[in-house]
Structure 1
Amino acid sequence: MNGARAGNLKSYMDIPKVPETVERLWNGWELRVVMLLSLFLQMFLIICGRIRKYTAGFWIGNLVWLAYLSADWVATFSLGILAQKIGDSETNCINSNRGSIPAFWAPVLLVHLGGPDTITAYSMEDNELWLRHLLVLGSQVAVAFYAFTRSWWSEDPLLFVAIPIFVAGIIKYGERNWVLRSASSKQYRNSVYSEMNELREKFGNFPNSELFEMTHTQLVEKLRLSDIIPQARFLHEAYLFFQMFRVLFADLVLAESIHLATHIILKEKSAMDAFKLVEVEMGFMYDVLYTKLEKVRSSRVIFRAITFLGLVSALLAFSLGMSKNNHAYSTAEITISYLLLYGAIVIEIYSVVVLLFSDWAMLWLTGLRKPLFNFVYQTIYSTQILSFLHNDKRWESRMAQHNLISFQRSKGKLTRISLKKLLGKSNIQSLKDVGADLKEFIFQHLLDKQTRYNLRMRTPDFLHEILSERGDHVIGLEECLGNLDWSVKHPDFNESLLTWHIATDICYHDDVRKNVAEAKNDGDANNIHPNREIKMSIELSNYMVYLLLDYPFLLPRGIGKERYNQTCSAVDDGADLLGPIISGQDPSWDSYETMLRFENSPRKVSALWAGFKLAKSLQALVTQNGWETKRKWEMMSQVWVEMLTYAASHCGWKDHAQTLTRGGELVSHVHLLMAHLGLSEQCLTTGR
């Protein structure tokens, strides 16, 4: 038995210890892995950093967020490992003991810390931290230089390869800090004054009386846009709008003549073209706040040329050194070194290509007004060369949807834990396209507001009155303000929003039930399909509630989130009544008994009772006042557009700028359209 025990003990001792094996493996590969991870993060960011400019995708947004936060940490962590390991083994380069770490790995990490051109800041707050980044720059350059000097004693013949990469890394990291500083609030505001002076010079000779009578053709001639090729004119118009946007974003005011000029341009556009102009304009602003593109396009291109040449020369020198076979590098180090150098050069080339096919480059190209350059632009425009880099779909044109009642009723059935829930993004039930009909509907509504403003001599008081409309104007035109004014004049806008949201939902399901009944009697199944006004009302209603939940800073301040939670509790309490109503099985939802139960509910502070009361009043317009159902939904859709415009104009520009990092929101596009039509309190009105 003792022999058996001894044999078992011997067998046990022969088994290799896994932790020690893993430790040796990690010690040999930890630096290699983090170096490759740093390179991968840079490649991911430069590609996906520009994708988020025009898409609101959940996965893209969160992956970019994770990569952005990880990239600097991984590069810094790698520098720390390098500082510890490089030079520890002071083997002579002629020695057969291979495994030395190339000295240029440290400055390559400085290049990575400089970040890709397509994303310098993830959010507006990152720009305000430029001074912290500057301090980090100094410390990381010191660490990289320390690692470089330690490798000096190894007598590595390829040590000189690190010198041009050092230059490239310092330039790129310094460039990043310069861009962050330029986009910070203080520096941005200072830079905008030159933009204001340029606009004043451009419109200084435009008296308001002349602009009121000026046609679009005359204005284009005055602004010297007539000699721009037609295919590129929208870029120059969008840039003019962008110059105005930059000033408004700094919370400064503009002369009325500038608003009048942009109004003349917009009123000649279709709704689709007007929205496209705003999309290009918001793309320009995104580049200013979150990328390097707007800065590197100017005279600083010389720095980009130095960076590129430095990386290419390092690659050539390293390749030449490898051919002489007098180095102390292992095969793994050689392979990773090539990957790092080639990867850095590919990133630089991709950055240049992105810049060459950007709106900034096309704006400059066509602004030269030369036949050759116009031909180049027309070739790109007509053949869509490298369309994956020059994306015409500058905005995804989608809006998220959240229906309070349906979401709350299905909430108990959803037991699966998802990543969206963990990140607090589970409120999006679906995404709807912002189609041509809705854009036309919104744009026409804004033009009507602008026309009324002009008819009242453009006085500041009337402008404030127009911007304060949140459904009461539409209801007043229909002469039913006495019955419905309570629903839109609540002191808290969010209360009105939830009330109309529930009423819209109830009216929709009640009308569907009636249409189904009529379809059965008439044998016409087409009656149950919602018309355009119903579709727009439902989609805008669900979109506004989504904003209330996920982006309340885009709405006027209030207790909307608390009222939403109270309403959800009331929905749970009344689940037995709501179920048949939503499913269209209960035709007596507005009976005295049902309304009395909701009225006497202990959760009367919720918006559910008010929503049912409003729905009953809206349905009574058809059953008692003789309205057609179509007329009712036309009024409701107008109310929702008016609520949208009210919300858009009562939110700060910096809040709207935050939406640019996820493709932009419809409410932000509406806000810009209103500003360009003169429907903004940042317009210096003087009257006619």
Structure 2
Amino acid sequence: MGRLIDLISDREIQILVLLSFTLQLFLFFAGRLRRGNSNGFLRLCLWGAYLGADIAAVYALGYLSRRQDVTIDTNLLTGTQPLAFFWAPFFLIHLGGQDTITAFAMEDNNLWLRHLLNLVTQVVLALYVFWKSIGKHSANLLLAGSFVFVTGIIKYAERTWSLKCGSLRSLESSDSDRYTRKLPQELSRDAGFVRDALYHMTYVVDVLSERAMLRLVEDRHLFNKEDDKDLLVRMVSLQLGMIHDDLYTKSFVLRTRSGVILRCISHAAVIVAFALFLANGKERYSKADIAITYSLFLGCLFLEVSSMVVSMMSPWTWAWFKVQNCDALASFSWFVFRSDTGYPKMKQRWPNLIGQYNISSWVFDRDQQRRKYSQRIMIMFKKLFSGLFRVKKEKLFWMSKLVDTEYMDLDNMILKRVVEEITLLLCDFDIIDEPKGWQKIGIMLTGTHKICYANFGLSIVFMHLVTQMHLETYASFKSDIEAVGLMKVCGKLSKYMMYLLVTQPSMLPLSVSAAATLDMVQQPGKVTESCEDIKLETSKETLEELARMWTRLLIYSAGKSRGHASQLSGGGELITFAWLLMAHYGIGENHNKRIHLFRNDDANAADIRNVYAFCLPSGEMESGTHNRSEWDDIPGF
């Protein structure tokens, strides 16, 4: 152990520089994977690498500044000089981060001034390390290090600039015209939808920064009811991907004239530095230090080339080449854009996964559907703590949130349903929807239409429990492909709304905190009893109405939700897709068309056109109001 500690101490700076470089490689390739991916393990690894990369580089610069033996002194045994001083500017390059990830979350962008202070501090520290070595090494080597310094300072400045452009304050004060570009005309179907997505990006930025208050949709030439649904899904997904890149990568900075000039200078500087290092004599330095320096140069050049390929994936790059009549470069950009590493086969979904949470097994203590060992262990611990230590059930709910939360593939069927329901609601702005279409589930809607406003979260739990219990009655429909598809849609949307309530409550229009609502549900009472009293007819018509109900609840929530810019860093949410699609139609709280749950909503502001997700016969609504004895004892009802 003593020898191991001595070895680590002797090679500490070499280990640090290799660790820093390895983390940069991981961030470059894994940073792009989080686009549209909500995998928790990937986010944990990215978070650790994002923080660890900065810590390793800063610590290494501090180590170099206070250790003369690794920067100046000659090794008496081997007669070689250390080359570690030459690595100081490489740490600046590493602190500049990678093009595929500049910020892990929106909070990093908002703290861009802290990164600016770090930029000044670390540059001064690196210059101090370099200054101590002047006169100890050849002029060629010092000149090569100076060029590496140029690259390091530019890289770090690019990152700070990107963080500033992605901050909320910058987004709110930005001019959306910065997205206005000259775009190509007369394109094919695939290229045409990409051009349309780019054309409407100015409006997307206005919506994201909440500057589209009551804006007339007709003046913006946005979507209409007759548009191709598949193209709408692909277009909104593409726009969400571009917004993610502008907020959390260097994409926006590298589209500016200044950004392109700085990147060209950076490329040229590192190439000149590598050439000077090759021409310099290296007999005075250890082979290990020389090998590490070569690795840093080759790795830097590799990442520079890879960054150029990533920039070619951007639809903005393709459009610019197309307008400039650079057909060869435009074709290459289009090829990379459509490749598996870019936008696979132009069918990208945003997000690729959808969060799922089923609270029924926790509430009803149903163990027979448990499939994972972790869930069985959770049940055992719950019984142990509640029985032996008398811990209340709601105090152990965090275990269920951790174990029962899952992520499943988001199929196109759900996305198309969202588009179809939005277009149907768009028609209802012109034609008042009569009380029809809810014949099978009217009893459930009638029982909840009043309490939705008192406690929207509790109504989601109630309808989720009823839906899950009802889906268990369809054992005989497994051979019916259409019914199975409807069951999947109902189950996924029901669990997704519960997932939002449990893990992302800020995305929902809640009048009572999610924590209070979930505590209330877990207490023995009339919530579960009322759910078991609701009996729905087992038929495909019922499934169709349930699917429409959950889709409309999602759309209603999306129209009132906020904070979507922050959610894009975690792979995005289905509710964000619905929110942006509705914004293109001019529907939402910041637009002149708004969706309410029931017709008895008091929302008659001037110049505001309202539509209702659920239109029930007046007799049923009145009966739902009078027959509330089963809800009277439940807080919030």
RMSD of equivalent CA atoms: 3.2
Query: Which residue of the other structure, out of 435, 448, 455, is the alignment partner of 1:487?
Result: 448
Letter in 1 for 2:216: E
Write out aligned runs for 1:267-286 (5 A).
Answer: 267-270=226-229, 272-286=230-244
Q: Does 1:31 align with 2:7?
A: no
Deviation at 1:454, TM superposition (A): 3.2
Q: How far did 1:131 drift?
A: 0.7
Which residue of structure 1 lines up, in the alignment, with residue 498 of structure 2?
Answer: 545
Aligned to 2:186: 227
Is residue 74–residue 80 contact of structure 2 (8 Å, CA) maintained in 1?
no
Alpha-carbon distance, 1:565 to partner: 3.8
Q: In 2, distance between residues paired with 1:507 and 1:227?
A: 51
Matched residue, 2:265: 306
Which residue pairs with 1:642 in the alignment?
552
Name the residue aligned to 1:65. 47
Partner of 1:559: 513
Q: Which range moves more in the overlay, 248-257 or 391-400?
A: 391-400
Contact 2:162 2:252 in 1 (8 A): no
User: Please, what TM-score do these two structures have when normalized by structure 2?
Assistant: 0.81
Q: Is the 8 A contact 2:500 2:507 kept in 1?
A: yes
What's the offset of the Cα at 1:634? 1.8
**Shift, 1:639, TM fit:** 1.1
Supply the distance in 2 between the matched residues of 1:436 and 1:474 (Cα, whole angstroms): 29
Q: Does 2:216 correspond to 1:256?
A: yes
Give the letter aligned to residue 427 of structure 2. Answer: T
Secondary structure at 1:103's aligned position in 2?
Answer: helix
Mapped to 1, the partners of 2:523 and 2:398 lie a distance apart of 22
In 2, Cα distance between equivalents of 1:224 and 1:326: 56
Structure 1 residues 424 and 102 mapped into 2: Cα distance closer, same or farther (>3 Å)?
farther
User: Whose Rg is larger?
Assistant: 1
Q: Deviations over 1:115-137 (max 9, x none)?
A: 11111111111111011111111
Q: 1:450 aligns with which of 409, 426, 434?
A: 426
Q: Residue type matched to 2:461 in 1?
A: L
Distance 1:77 1:483 in 2: 61
Single out whichever of 82-91 and 227-236 deviates more from structure 2: 82-91
Please say which of residues 494-503 and 53-62 is displaced more in the overlay. 53-62
Residues 88 and 352 of structure 1, relative CA distance in 2, 3 Å threshold: closer
Structure 1 residues 267 and 69 mapped into 2: Cα distance closer, same or farther (>3 Å)?
farther
User: Is 2:625 the counterpart of 1:664?
Assistant: no
Q: Which of residues 128, 140, 160 in structure 2 aligns to 1:146?
A: 128
In the alignment, which of 532, 541, 547 is matched to residue 612 of structure 1?
A: 532
What CA deviation, in whole Å up to 9, does each residue of 1:396-446 have, x standing for no partner? 5331222112356445543799xxx99997345543333233222221110
Equivalent of residue 471 in structure 2, options 495, 508, 511: 508
Q: Is contact 1:86–1:103 with CA below 8 Å preserved after alignment?
A: no
Residues 167 and 549 (structure 1 numbering): CA distance in 2 closer, same or farther, change over 3 Å? same
**Correspondence list, 1:275-674, <5 A:** 275-299=233-257, 300-321=259-280, 324-327=281-284, 329-368=285-324, 370=325, 373=327, 377=330, 381=334, 387-391=340-344, 392=346, 393=348, 395-406=350-361, 409=365, 410=367, 411=375, 413-414=377-378, 426-455=402-431, 478=439, 484-490=445-451, 491-512=454-475, 515=476, 526=479, 530-557=483-510, 558-568=512-522, 570=524, 603-604=525-526, 607-613=527-533, 615-616=534-535, 619=536, 622=537, 629-652=539-562, 655-674=563-582
Give 5+ residue unaligned stretches, structure 2.
Answer: 368-374, 382-396, 594-606, 610-637
Residue 178 in structure 1 maps to residue 198 in structure 2: no
Shift of 1:104: 2.0
Encode CA deviations 1:558-604: one digit per residue, 9 max, x unaligned: 3333332443454xxxxxxxxxxxxxxxxxxxxxxxxxxxxxxxx34
Report the counterpart of residue 197 of structure 2 in structure 1.
Answer: 238
1:127 paired residue number: 109
406 and 425 in structure 1: CA distance in 2 versus 1, 3 angstrom threshold:
closer
Q: Match for 1:433: what amino acid?
A: D
Question: Of Structure 1 and Structure 2, which has the larger fraction of its residues in helix?
Answer: 1
Tell me, yes or no, if the aligned pair for 1:294 and 1:360 is still in contact at 8 Å: no
> Cα offset for 1:87?
5.7
For residues 195-238 of structure 1, the C-alpha deviation after alignment (integer angstroms, 9 at most, x for no partner) is 69x69xxxxxxxxxxxxxxxxxxxxxxx9875234431111211
Report how far residue 35 of structure 1 moved.
0.5
Q: Secondary structure at the match of 2:378?
A: coil
Structure 1 CA distance, aligned partners of 2:221 and 2:482?
42
Provide the residue aligned with 1:12 in structure 2: none
Verify the 8 A CA contact 1:548 1:560 in the aligned structure 2.
yes
**2:148 aligned partner:** 165
Question: How far did residue 165 of structure 1 move?
Answer: 0.8
Q: How far apart, CA to CA, are the structure 2 residues paired with 1:534 and 1:394?
A: 21
Contact preservation (8 Å) 1:253, 1:684: no
Structure 1 stretches of 5 or more lacking a match? 1-17, 200-222, 457-465, 467-472, 517-524, 571-602, 623-627
Q: Secondary structure at the match of 2:53?
A: helix
- Asked if the contact 2:378/2:399 (under 8 Å) is kept, the reply is no
Give me the whole-angstrom Cα distance separating, in 1, the residues matched to 2:483 and 2:208.
40
Tell me, in whole angstroms, the C-alpha distance in 2 between the residues paired with 1:631 and 1:153.
Answer: 85
CA distance in 2, matches of 1:396, 1:186: 26
The more displaced of 80-89 and 331-340 is 80-89
- CA deviation after TM superposition for structure 1 residue 53, in Å: 1.1
Q: 2:540 is matched by which residue type in structure 1?
A: K
Q: Distance in 2 between matches of 1:422 and 1:97?
A: 61
Residue 315 of structure 2 aligns with an amino acid whose one-letter code is D
User: Using the alignment, how far apart are the partners of 1:194 and 1:168 within structure 2?
Assistant: 31
Contact 1:494-1:560 within 8 A present in 2 as well: yes
**Residues 76, 416 of structure 1: alpha-carbon distance in 2 compared, 3 angstrom cutoff:** farther
> Aligned pair count?
564
1:191 equivalent among 157, 161, 174: 174
**What are the Cα deviations for residues 244-297 of structure 1, in whole angstroms up to 9, with x where unaligned?**
110111111263145762123x63212x32111111100111111111112112
CA distance in 2, matches of 1:385, 1:487: 47
Matched letter for residue 554 of structure 1:
M
Q: TM-score, normalised by structure 1?
A: 0.75
Contact 1:362 1:377 survives alignment (8 Å): yes
The percent of aligned pairs where both chains have the same amino acid is: 27
Q: What is the distance in 1 between the residues matched to 2:136 and 2:85?
A: 10
Are 2:233 and 2:416, in contact at CA under 8 Å, matched by a contact in 1? Answer: no
Structure 1 position 115 matched with structure 2 position 35: no
